[in-house]
Amino acid sequence: MNLPTRKRKERPKTLRLSYFKNEGDHEWLDIPVSDHPYAVVLPVIQPPTLFSGAPHRDGLVIEGTSVRAGPNFYQKLQSFGPNKAFTQEFSPDLFGRLLAKIAHGYAVGEVGSYNFRPFLQGLILGTQTFSSSFIGGGSSQGSRRLLHQLSLEWRASFLVCSITLFSMEASDSAGSAGPTYDVIVGMAA
């Protein structure tokens, strides 16, 4: 996506593409970045159980995926011939931890660390089991002028950060925003 970076010289020259030889057997091909078909694949998850009233579960409750293909994705993929597949590794726990870090950092920056009792520090540090109580899907945000959208609001006595990742990229390539995530950052102090 050619996003800004401080380590431009460390960008990879190639990216991997999976080649399926037989059923269940595959090899990786290294493809030049300019030729690689890329897509942003994000999970669609249930709302935080603290708000939805659903029973608490450990981990993300994934309902599906939102795929935003890059320019000429299918043409690029087909140009490598049959049996080629776009694959992406995904760890629900690491993704939940990423959302927790973004939300907590944004909340501290916007309202200050002494204006709420934080819920997410153990999750961020890896000392707490991931909880669907605090992190889940939210309703889509309106503006798509920026690559990522963040907003904070108080819902009852809870501070909630809404996050939409790659919102501009999603709207440019597919006509609609990607999923929004609601993260319950903490409680009123």
Confidence of residue 22 (pLDDT cuts 50, 70, 90): low
Task: Say if pTM beats, i.e. exceeds, 0.85.
Answer: no
Nearest CA to 61 among 134, 5, 113? Answer: 134
Q: What is the mean pLDDT of the chain?
A: 82
Q: Which pLDDT score is estimated for 175?
A: 47
The pLDDT tens digits for 57-112 are 888 888 888 887 778 888 887 887 776 676 767 888 889 999 999 999 999 999 99
Higher-confidence position of 147 and 181: 181
Distance between start and end Cα atoms, the chain: 40
Please say if the pLDDT value at position 184 is more than 70.
yes
Structure-token pair, residue 38 = 């890329």
Q: Report phi then psi at 74, rounded to 5.
A: -70, -40
Q: Which residues pair with 117 in a beta bridge?
A: 187
What percent of the chain shows pLDDT beyond 90?
Answer: 28
The pLDDT tens digits for 99-116 are 999 999 999 999 999 999
Q: Which pLDDT score is estimated for 171?
A: 42
How many CB atoms are closer than 10 A to CB 127?
A: 8
Task: Give the span between the Cα atoms of 133 and 119, in whole angstroms.
Answer: 10
Structure-token pair, residue 182 = 């609601």
The pLDDT tens digits for 163-172 are 998 776 444 4
> What is the maximal distance between C-alpha atoms in the chain?
59
